[in-house]
Amino acid sequence: MRLRQGLRWLALAIVLCAAGYWLAAGANRGWTKTTRDRIEKDPITEITFPVRENHFSPGIDVVAGAFFVAGVLAISSLFASRKNNT
């Protein structure tokens, strides 16, 4: 496989993997979050209160970073040699 074509396939794989991971992990359309709030109820007083728990939720910045890296790879493929060095 030529270098140009390999860089383009790698760029496509990065975009697809990042988008798939983002969708599978919850597709948070905001910034990446590392905690979330959960409502609990005190069994004695029956008062509800928020509890913060650790939870990683990748945001659109993760996808944007992957698209940026893929774009750099795709653009660098334009400057790679056209010869097939085998």
Indicate the number of domains in the chain.
1
Residue 68 lies in a domain: yes
pLDDT digits 0-9 by tens, 6-25: 999 999 999 999 999 999 99
Q: Using DSSP, state whether 76 is helix, strand or coil.
A: helix
User: What is the domain range of residue 59?
Assistant: 3-78
Mean pLDDT of 47-75: 93
Tell me the backbone φ, ψ of residue 29, rounded to 5 degrees: -85, 5
The pTM (predicted TM-score) of the whole model is: 0.75
pLDDT at residue 26 in the model: 85
Residue 57 lies in a domain: yes
- Residue 60's pLDDT is 94
pLDDT of res. 81: 74
Q: Where do the H-state alpha helices sit in the chain?
A: 3-24, 60-78
Q: Is residue 69 part of a domain?
A: yes
Residue 86 lies in a domain: no
Tell me which amino acid residue 3 is.
L
pLDDT tens-digit series, residues 49-60: 999 999 889 999
